[in-house]
Chains A and B, each alone.
Chain A
Amino acid sequence: MAEAQLHVRIQEGFQQEVEEEKLLDCMRCGFCLPACPTYLHSNFDETQSPRGRIALMKAVRDGMIPFDDSIEESLDLCLGCRACEPACPAGVEYGSLLESARNVIQREKKQSMTEKVARHGAFKHLFKNQRTMERTTGLIRFYQKSGIQALTRKTGVLSLLPSIMKDMEAILPIIDKSKIKKGHTYESTKKTTKVAFFTGCMMDTIFSQTNQSTVKLLQQLGCDVWVPENQVCCGALQGHSGELDMARENAIQNIEAFLAQDVDYIVNNAGGCGAFLSEYDHLLKDHPALLEKAKAFSEKTIDISTLIEKLGITGRSLKLKNGRQAVITYQDSCHLRNVNRVVDEPREIMQSIDGATYVELPTANQCCGSAGIYNLIHTEMSMRILDSKMEDVKATEAQFLLTSNPGCLLQMKLGIEKAGVSDHMEAMHLVDFLAEYVEVE
């Protein structure tokens, strides 16, 4: 009986929140199929494809089939990489459909225990509050140094996540306390542009070095970099997992924090965050009082590679330090590519570095399997995707594998470790690579 009520509640939820017009945009041509990593890595199972998932949402909404576990699994196993969107000539807004459907399911369905604990740990504690994130990463660091597994088991941070976490902790960078001060403006000598810097929660803790490199690079290119004090996590991880209300709270706080000063751009160095920031207007579409501000915020959002390209970095002399020669390749951040459609800018920057030979990774446009916390929840599919990705990476014979998003970066580091090529290949954020290895005149 309880089960029957659940599927009815979910159908009603779909009817109210999953827009029929958007579902009908899909005319089932199937052109999205070859772009979908879960379709390809499930050996062409339509159940694990965008066309299949849209049909499932529609069938549940129309009452053609009742919601059940198999449908939930299909929607759950989606990476949310949105590679289907640029592939879709009919312009289906898949990401928005998926988000609404997951929101309904999340709300209506009593979460299973493991998932509940994982989400609780990840969202409520890790991402909601910057200080918790800092403490947690500090713990991971302590775990790394001491090797006392029992401690982390007790704190419940790592042990409730699958075995991948053990692999993960091996590749986590040395975590330093962030040196980027909130509320501060880092001034440049030229002062041609004023930007507000979105620090991101992972970038601000696990990859704090990248943030320092970012600020320095922007200063060098003539930007005054203001770091708004009350900024919080962008809300992407919550939003993609069906916790839209939590995501909205974060969005509202960020909009207030960033619009407090008049800036030319709101810059970020994490593709996943950037995409979500640029869609705040969509997230807050039912909040008329905030919509104008959300639009202003989203319009100013820009990713670091696009901004430094605009600021003329490729017109300067870029060369590898100490006359070094190296092969570099690049793994796209799915959301930077598929949502913000930033494809050429990072490549143009990499191609203009003297001494560096840029080799295109043939599957750069396909998700690496990181996908927020996907690799922690759907480890098997994630590792299948990663292993196949690493075969392509190895074929490029690159010494540096660059990315534009912290999740991708961690996954690439894990991939390099798993593939046993860490002695001659390093994964880095594009900005760190520029800071560490490239002379910018």
Chain B
Amino acid sequence: MLSPAIIQEFEQLCGKENVQHSSATKLAYSYDATANFQALPDLVVSPRNTEEVSGIVKLCQKHEIPIVPRGSGTNLAAGTTPTKGGVVLLFRHMNHILELDEENLTVTVQPGVITDELHAFVEDKGLFYPPDPSSGKISTLGGNISENSGGLRGLKYGVTKDYVLALEVVLPNGEVIRTGGKLAKDVAGYDLTSLMVGSEGTLGIVTEATLKLVPKPNHNQTLLAVFDSLEKAAETVSAIIAAKIIPATLEFMDQGTIQVVEGYKQIGLPLDAEAILLIEQDGPEEIVASDMATVLTICEEYGAREISKAKNEQEAEDLRRARKDALSCLAQLTPTTMLEDATVPRSEIAPMVREIIRIAEKYDVRIHTFGHAGDGNLHPTAVTDARNEEEMKRVEDAFAEIFETAVNMGGTITGEHGVGEMKSSYLEWKVGPSGLAIMQSIKQAIDPNNMMNPGKMFAKSTRKRVVVHNG
């Protein structure tokens, strides 16, 4: 509980209407999209500009109050859950597109701009901002930058970090820095832009960002390939890449996912298929046509039972949307949905999918898998019930083994959701003790009082490794 005097200081700074602390508001900002994490903040503050953000940070330093910057709360690793209380910082006033620079092909935005709004804005001008997380219709760019969000187009176009050119950041001491610039080349000192991207709000608060744009591809084609076996689908993915084709999208859904998605969408997905691949290529018309012809041949060679091309943009969008809604659709099955994003080198997709199936059987848990097959970023999703402690323990153990397996294959514990609080005890598995130590010393140097999103990224202790019995 913050004293009325302290609350008043925030009100003087940002205006009374921008400082909320009713029990309803505190509750409404007590969660994000991660199951099983919830905690009330003390205050919800909506600054109107960078100066106010800086003022809030200084006030928080003075009174030792934790700060949790929050976009739209779609995080899947408890990254925006205020587990240590404090101030939840909102960007609902700082949600403007500030500048489109068509000479430098950049767009400058405030953190509260909705991802899909930026997509629509730049595409209207014949330009393209590729990162497209599935939550794009509500996620904010500030959130995308802080989490280094990926999405369906990661394989060909990369992820958020590949499009951030410059940032304005409020540091934990209240000072404002500008990193990078509208520059393709810039080697002046440490790359602080890269350090900030994906730092999950633990190092500073992004208050403005300049993003790189590319020309909008003028043509695209989408196809759906249906498989009777998971392995065949996974082998097809590897074969497409081996044929030197990099599709804009190469997505995968298993049978359980197909069934719930079809139940909600009713767009004619085959309920008896073991796996489907959603493949999309964009670019100049001739290249798209020749790439897709090759893809089609490969799908046939590797045993696709059925291949259908989207007839128009609406059909293509229905298919994309179906994939993007997969997680929420899975939520229909059981009270709790636990989604992970273990990622492996793309050559390891088939073995990884097999391992996930084996692990699910071993721990007797229901895990459905979908994901960005083309870039090795899988989303094994456990459908369970948080009220069943015994089952939750098995789910946790299964995921631990999945992480371990992914790391052993040269992969990672999280491809695009972030470490947050949920995966903090696994971070060392991926980065090693020395890697973890250097990360902690960076955090200590920039945020010595640990007030920026505390409890995230770094755990009190690392989880004990499981012993993986292969074969």
Contacts and interface: CB of A to CB of B under 8 A. Distances in A.
B32 interface: yes
B23 A65 contact: yes
A28 interface: yes
Given A45-B20, A90-B329, 20 more contacts: A27-B327, A29-B33, A29-B135, A29-B328, A30-B33, A30-B72, A31-B138, A44-B95, A46-B25, A46-B29, A55-B30, A56-B24, A59-B30, A64-B27, A65-B23, A65-B40, A68-B23, A89-B325, A89-B327, A90-B331
Interface in B126-150: 135, 137-138
Contacts of A71: 23-24, 27
9 contacts: A24-B336, A29-B135, A46-B73, A56-B28, A68-B23, A70-B22, A70-B24, A71-B27, A91-B264
Interface in B72-106: 72-74, 90, 92-93, 95
B92 A31 contact: no
Interface residues of A, number: 33
Interface string A50-74: 0010011001000011101011011
B335 interface: yes
Interface in B15-63: 20, 22-35, 38, 40
B117 to A, nearest CB: 10
Given A34-B137, A88-B328, A28 B31 contact: yes
Contacts, number: 108
Residue with the highest number of chain A CB atoms closer than 10 Å, among B114, B332, B336: B332
A25 interface: yes
Interface string B333-368: 001110000000000000000000000000000000
A33 interface: yes
B27 A55 contact: yes
How many of chain B's residues touch chain A, expressed as a range?
A: 35 or more
B328 A47 contact: no
A30 B331 contact: no
Given A30-B135, A30-B138, A45 B30 contact: no
Contacts of B337: 27
Interface of B: 20, 22-35, 38, 40, 72-74, 90, 92-93, 95, 112, 114, 135, 137-138, 264, 325, 327-329, 331-332, 335-337
Nearest to B114: A34
A112 interface: no
Interface of A: 21, 24-31, 33-34, 43-47, 49, 52, 55-56, 59, 64-66, 68, 70-71, 73-74, 88-91
A27 B73 contact: no
A73 B24 contact: yes
Contacts of B336: 24, 27
B429 to A, nearest CB: 26
Contacts of B325: 31, 89
Contact of A27 (B20, B27, B331): B331
Contacts of A59: 27, 30
A59 B329 CA distance: 23
B35 A27 contact: yes
